[in-house]
Each structure stands twice: as C-alpha cells, then as structure tokens.
C-alpha cells in the first residue's frame, strides 16, 4: 500500500512538471501558430480569388445558426472597389470532423472548396475532399437541394461523410451568399435558410409536447405497472388531457438496446401509438444512434399496440424494419415500445376511457436480443 501511494505520487509529480513545462511552451508558441495558420488561409484565399487585391476580415459577423457547424473565419474578397465574393472557413461534423474553406461568388454560386483538414476515415471519408466528389459543387447554386441521391452523388462506402459535407457546404454557401446580398449587393435568393437537422435525443418535455400537442399532463408515475417484462423498466408515466378529458398516456421506459436507451411511448385511447420518441441512448454513435432520427421512430406512429413488434431482419414476417447495421438496437426499442404500449393501453382501459384489448392481447412474445451480434 505504502509503495503504491509513493509510486502514484512520483508519477503525478513527473506528469505535473511535464504539464507545467508544456504550458509555458504553449503560451510562447500559440500566437505564432495562430499567425502561421492565418497566413496559410490568406494564401489559400489568394488562390481562390486571384484577381482580389484585398480581403476584408468579417469573422464573427456571420452566424451558422447551428450548434455543431462553426464559421471559424470569414473574408470578403475585394478586387479594387468591387466585391468578387467571400470565403468562409467552416468546421463541422462529417464522419468525424472537417474544416474547409468555402468560397461563394456574387451570383450565389459556390466558387471553390478547399479542405484544411479532414479527419474522416482515410480512403473512404477523405475522398470527399477529392475529385470527382468535390467537383460537383463547383458553380453549384447555393439554393439547390444539396441532397445526396438527387443533385449530389454520394461516395459509395462514405455516405455519411458525403451527406455531411454537402450539408456543411450548403449552409456555408447559403449564409455567405445571404451576407453578400445584405451588405454588398450580391444576388439575393428566395429560399429559406437550410436547416441542418442535428440528430440528438429528444428531451422529455419536448417529447411529451411532440406526442400530444396542446395537451396538459398529469404525472401518473407508478400507476402504469409493468407486469410482463422485467428487462424493461418504466421510469415515468404522464396522463395527457385535453379539455379535462384523457386523450392518452405517455410511458417512459428504459431498457437494453445495444447498450441502453430511454424512450417515451405515447398511447392513444384506441390502442394505437401516438408515437415513440428517444429520450436518451448510449448506443454507438455510428450505428444504434440512428434511432434518434425521425425516419426511424416515426415508423411507430399510429401502430396498434397489439401488433407483434418483431424485427423483420431477425424474425420471419416481422413488422418492424431494422435500422441497417443495428438490428439489436432496433429490437430493444421495439420491445420497449411493445411493453410500454401494451401497459399504457391497459392503464387507459382501467380508467374506463380507453378501448379494452382483445382477449389474445397477452401474453405476447418479445424480440430475443442476442448476447453477441
């Protein structure tokens, strides 16, 4: 024990001395590094707008309006007294993350794209920085859809990177053009700002309001009991009322997905789901996390609670489509939706407000989540 403490102390001491030393070096070199990076950007700007005589720094005057996509720098290119366009340095999440320079001209077209860094998988995601993928954006109007599959051809094997890069280019191109239109007489567009939907779990309050819009909620946690499945835990329940009448119940359930997830299941009086919303998930960012997308959880909206809720890929004749690559996560969500839906409907029936279930409603079979995929 004594040696252990001594060794940890020695180790900590060395680490501390190293850190203090490094912080001094960092403080000394940081301004030079920033200056050198600025120089690199400036020279890239010169290549994009060779006719420009001056670049006005407008960094901080444009907002991306997104939490994850950041405009690091912004310059307006001036050729004499005429404006030839602008360049934004934008950093955003691709498969991992990328920083690029996006140039737009006065006619709302993307002029050039330069990657400053691309941390995606080498050989797959990094192909977004190369021809022919990146070439399809040159001279592209920022009011286009930028949707992979229609006006943007994705890289096979790097769909996520392709989508993300198109999104970032679209947002940066649009905001840059808008800024030019407002301040320098650039062509103005009619389109609305592109909204970049970021996939994130939906908090409880937002989920409740989304499932039962305009309803009032009273907490009935504990009154909706889980009598069928021990692996699913009900962490809360709310009765939704409109004009004093019950219209449904929302049950929050926690259970195993690939790791664990908490979902909110809304049940209506007619034994169908008002929908499913994902409140929390610790599943892997690359696969199971896809459950937070509306395309997935939206498939449960209006689904009768007496359906089998078996996942198609794993079970013959299943009625829930698995997220590709995430069958286990899908099974977990389907199980929770089934159990919570069933118990929610039972609770509503007990209030003599909801429809009673058919005699064969219970017992039912759940998806069997394999130990290892």
Bridge partners (DSSP) listed for residue 276? 265
Q: How deeply is 338 buried, as exposed, middle or buried, from its count of CB atoms within 10 A (0-12, 13-18, 19+)?
A: buried
Closer residue to another protein in complex, CB, 39/54: 39
Closer residue to another protein in complex, CB, 91/367: 91
C-beta of 8: minimal distance to another protein in Å?
Answer: 9
Closer residue to another protein in complex, CB, 21/370: 21
C-beta of 34: minimal distance to another protein in Å?
Answer: 9
Closer residue to another protein in complex, CB, 6/242: 6
Q: How deeply is 184 buried, as exposed, middle or buried, from its count of CB atoms within 10 A (0-12, 13-18, 19+)?
A: middle
Is-contact 86 49, C-beta < 8 A?
no
C-beta of 60: minimal distance to another protein in Å?
Answer: 24
Q: Which long-range contacts link 225-233 to residues 24+ away (Cβ below 8 Å)? A: 225/343, 226/253, 226/339, 226/343, 227/343, 228/339, 228/342, 228/343, 228/362, 228/363, 228/364, 229/335, 229/339, 229/366, 231/255, 231/256, 231/335, 232/335, 232/336, 232/339, 232/340
Q: Rule CB under 8 A: which residues touch another protein?
A: 6-7, 10-11, 14-15, 18, 21-22, 25-26, 29, 32-33, 36-37, 39-40
Closer residue to another protein in complex, CB, 4/360: 4
Q: How far apart are CA 17 and CA 226, in angstroms?
A: 56
C-beta of 17: minimal distance to another protein in Å?
Answer: 8
Q: Which helix (H) or strand (E) holds 319?
A: none
Closer residue to another protein in complex, CB, 121/256: 121
C-beta of 72: minimal distance to another protein in Å?
Answer: 17
């Amino acid at each position: 024990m004594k040696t252990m403490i001594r060794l940890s102390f020695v180790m900590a001491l060395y680490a501390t001395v190293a850190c203090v030393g490094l912080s001094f070096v960092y403080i000394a070199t940081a301004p030079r590094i920033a200056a050198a990076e600025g120089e690199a950007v400036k020279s890239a700007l010169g290549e994009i707008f060779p006719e420009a005589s001056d670049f006005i720094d407008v960094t901080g005057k444009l907002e991306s309006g997104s939490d994850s996509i950041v405009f690091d720098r912004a310059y307006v290119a001036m050729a004499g007294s005429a404006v030839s366009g602008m360049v934004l340095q934008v950093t955003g999440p691709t498969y991992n993350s990328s920083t690029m320079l996006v140039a737009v001209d006065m006619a709302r077209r993307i002029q050039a794209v330069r990657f400053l860094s691309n941390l995606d998988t080498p050989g797959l995601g990094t192909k977004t920085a190369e021809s022919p993928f990146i070439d399809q954006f040159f001279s592209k109007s920022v009011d286009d859809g930028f949707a992979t599959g229609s006006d943007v051809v994705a890289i096979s094997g790097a769909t996520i990177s392709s989508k993300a890069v198109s999104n970032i280019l679209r947002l940066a191109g649009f905001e840059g053009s808008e800024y030019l239109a407002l301040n320098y007489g650039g062509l103005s567009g009619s389109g609305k700002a592109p909204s970049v939907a970021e996939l994130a779990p939906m908090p409880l309050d937002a989920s409740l309001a989304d499932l039962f819009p305009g309803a009032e909620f009273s907490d009935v946690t504990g009154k909706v009991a889980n009598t069928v499945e021990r692996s699913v835990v009900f962490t809360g329940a709310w009765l939704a009322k409109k004009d004093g009448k019950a219209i449904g119940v929302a049950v929050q359930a926690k259970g195993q997905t690939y790791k664990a997830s908490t979902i909110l299941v809304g049940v209506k009086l007619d034994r169908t789901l008002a929908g499913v919303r994902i409140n929390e998930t610790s599943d892997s960012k690359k696969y199971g996390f896809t459950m937070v997308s509306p395309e997935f959880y939206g498939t449960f909206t209006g689904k009768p609670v007496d359906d089998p809720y078996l996942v198609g890929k794993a079970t013959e004749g299943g009625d829930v489509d698995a997220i590709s690559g995430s069958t286990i996560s899908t099974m977990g969500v389907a199980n929770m939706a089934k159990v919570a839906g069933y118990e929610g409907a039972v609770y509503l029936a007990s209030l003599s407000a909801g429809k009673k279930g058919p005699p064969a409603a219970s017992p039912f079979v759940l998806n069997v989540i394999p130990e290892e995929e």
